[in-house]
């Protein structure tokens, strides 16, 4: 059974199970429901406090599945993991999918649109008291990169997240339900991602729990590499682990990752270094 809190200090680890044929990192690998459940249980055993199940790819340029397809992908996996005692989050922008997933055993909603994609989502959240991840979002995958324009990405993201919280609260969502996600890679260039990571403490300073998702994203594939020699998605786990250490030091609530083992190792190293530094003071 997945622990409610980590065995170590620092951020929780949220493991990713993509039940899609077209995710950028592992599209199709866990598309079979039985394999997806097995993988989710494995992530929990490796140290994931939460397993995030999603049936829609949100990579740049991805097209949305139908509501029926998303439900068929997600619900058997949510139900199977919940029956195994795993704490499950559902990664969806659709209120109908969120509602059905909660009925199937999910205990958290992770909406990359922060409730903007479906006007019914806030009523689902407000009616259940369920924790709700509201990510910084400017548009769907087919057009989001055309919206990557900022005066100051850190200030703009913080302002837009604050506005989203105010709107959700006005629709009946409890502020204590809301978890913020700065939306690394969503309507952001590589430079924006690095600036936002460097300014992560400003997002944390907004006063709500923060979820960070950098795992295997494109900017980690290109850093330090020439064009044409970028790391493939599954070769980005070391770079992801470095951002995990930064997230831990910045005070985030949780990190969302594909490779739980590398993430737990990174957090253990961060904790040990912090303890040693404290002992020297």
Which residues are identified as catalytic? Answer: 217, 256
Which residues, 6 or more positions from 106, have their beta carbon under 8 angstroms from its beta carbon?
A: 53, 78, 82, 88, 89, 90, 98
| Cβ count within 10 A of residue 225 | 10
The answer for residues whose C-beta is within 8 angstroms of residue 123's C-beta and 6 or more apart is 95, 171, 172
Nearest to 73 by CA among 94, 44, 49, 43: 94
Phi (first) and psi of residue 83, to 5 degrees: -65, -25
CB 97 within 8 A of CB 70: yes
* Radius of gyration for the alpha carbons in the chain, expressed in angstroms and rounded: 18
Which SS3 state, helix, strand or coil, does residue 266 take? Answer: helix
Residue in the structure block whose two tokens are 């929780």: 12
Q: Which residues pair with 90 in a beta bridge?
A: 53, 109
φ, ψ (nearest 5 deg) of residue 267:
-70, -40
Place of tokens 């998702």: 213
């Amino acid at each position: 059974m997945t622990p409610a809190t980590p065995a170590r200090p620092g951020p929780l680890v949220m493991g990713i199970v993509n039940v899609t044929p077209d995710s950028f990192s592992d599209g199709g690998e866990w598309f079979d429901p039985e394999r997806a459940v097995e993988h989710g249980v494995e992530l929990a055993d490796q140290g994931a406090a939460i397993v995030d199940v999603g049936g829609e790819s949100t990579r740049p340029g991805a097209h949305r599945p139908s509501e029926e397809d998303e439900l068929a992908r997600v619900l058997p996996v949510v139900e199977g993991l919940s029956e195994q005692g795993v704490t499950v989050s559902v990664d969806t922008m659709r209120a109908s999918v969120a509602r059905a997933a909660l009925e199937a055993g999910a205990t958290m909603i992770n909406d990359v649109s922060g409730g903007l994609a479906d006007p019914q989502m806030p009523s689902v959240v407000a009616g259940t008291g369920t924790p709700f991840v509201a990510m910084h979002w400017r548009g769907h995958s087919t057009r989001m990169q055309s919206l990557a324009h900022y005066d100051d990405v850190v200030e703009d993201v913080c302002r837009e997240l604050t506005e989203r919280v105010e709107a959700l609260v006005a629709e009946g969502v409890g502020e204590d339900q809301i978890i913020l996600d700065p939306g690394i890679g969503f309507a952001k260039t590589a430079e924006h991602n690095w600036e936002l990571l460097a300014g992560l403490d400003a997002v944390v300073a907004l006063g709500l729990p923060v979820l960070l998702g950098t795992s295997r994203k494109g900017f980690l594939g290109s850093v330090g590499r020439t064009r044409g020699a970028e790391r493939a998605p599954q070769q980005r786990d070391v770079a992801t682990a470095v951002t995990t250490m930064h997230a831990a030091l910045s005070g985030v609530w949780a990190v969302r990752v594909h490779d739980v083992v590398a993430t737990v190792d990174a957090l253990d190293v961060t904790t040990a270094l912090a303890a040693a530094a404290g002992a020297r003071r």
